[in-house]
Amino acid sequence: MWNHSFRDEKDTSGCAISGIMSETGKRFSSDLIMRSIANMRERSNGLGGGFAAYGIYPHNPDDYALHIMFDQPSAQEVTWQYLKSNCEIIGEEPIPTRPSEAIKSRPLLHRYFVKAGALLKERYYEENEDDLIVRIVMHINRFIDGAFVLSSGKNMGIFKGVGYPEDVGRFFRLEEHKAYLWLAHGRFPTNTTGWWGGAHPFGLLDWAVVHNGEISSYGINRRYLENFSYFCALRTDTEVITYLFDLLMRKHKLALEITACILAPPFWSQIQRKGHDEKKLITALRMVYGGALLNGPFSVLVGNSKGMIGLNDRTKLRPMIAARKNDMIYIASEESAIRTVCPSPDILWHAEGGIPIIGQLKEKSCA
């Protein structure tokens, strides 16, 4: 006999992700991404929401924009002294927000436009400026108590917090920004607490990641990344995805298709059925980059200054839908989230497990 103490409605598979991009680089307002992510409100529970936006700082295109949250003023002061010692600070200001009854217990939110400082360049003379900024981010997150870097890329920023995503967007006054690429996330945390630093997107340099699912290989991935001086400090498994993309594509200069094969490779039984050359390549990747394999159910959206990437786990245990209309590409957890902003796409399709969906920036525009 049915026990009526249990709910009879269908459980969703948690978290909402959405990404919208103009491949010609035309900047557009936050209205589309706000409506798209709000359409999937029931997939989140108010414990995390956020956005990444590319092209929002056209007046500082060559400066690293550090978005940082602080638990207390003392953390902000320590961070300021550290940045002054290691960076050339072009400008700094509070991140604009508006009062919101939906957003509780907000931290201090500040942004700094910086370049790597001369002393840091002299000390680590063999590293490029991106590497030096990564050092700065890792130091702040690990060693300055109560300070966490939300984003650190050029001409982009991450805005996130505890709340439903549409409330977080209004709190950060996103209607005042235009971007050629928007990512959004509505969180339903399962293994970690909902807190400001643990909300999505996660960022490093110009990488931003939103994720639905669970990275059960987190421990292995985390230890693997420490070999390359990436240290996870934000207590959410999505952090490893961000660092792996930076390691594989920026540091090791691997192609996107190779990176996808490392992160979500075929099973060994499938590899055995490949042709000789493909079998040899994938086997070598599994052996060299075994610690980078992402296990567990996931759908991931990745943004950077050159485009947007959608990637499912190899058995596609989380939903991901994509569509195109003219120069626009849409990727989301649900078809409804796309059709609410693009009712008649030119083409719409389901992602395949382990096969990346790619949106590529053709040219940048300041329109």
Dihedral sign for Cα 234, 70, 68, 210, please. Answer: positive
d(CA 277, CA 289): 18
**Of the listed 15, 87, 232, 342, which one is catalytic?**
15
Q: How many residues does the chain have?
A: 367
Contact 234, 141 (CB under 8 A): yes
Query: Rounded to whole angstroms, what are the CA distances from 157 to 41, 64, 140, 172, 311?
Result: 23, 10, 17, 11, 22
Q: Is 15 a catalytic residue?
A: yes
d(CA 192, CA 48): 11
d(CA 246, CA 206): 9
Contact 291, 219 (CB under 8 A): no
Contact 307, 21 (CB under 8 A): yes
Q: Is 315 exposed, middle or buried (0-12, 13-18, 19+ CB in 10 A)?
A: exposed
State CA 175 to chain mean position distance: 20
Contact 209, 302 (CB under 8 A): yes
The C-alpha angle with vertex 243 and arms to 324 and 84, in degrees rounded to 5, equals 110
Beta carbons within 8 Å of 123's beta carbon, 6+ residues apart: none
State CA 26 to chain mean position distance: 21
Strand, coil or helix: 158: strand
Residue 166 tokens read as 């549409």
The residues annotated with a catalytic role in the active site are 15
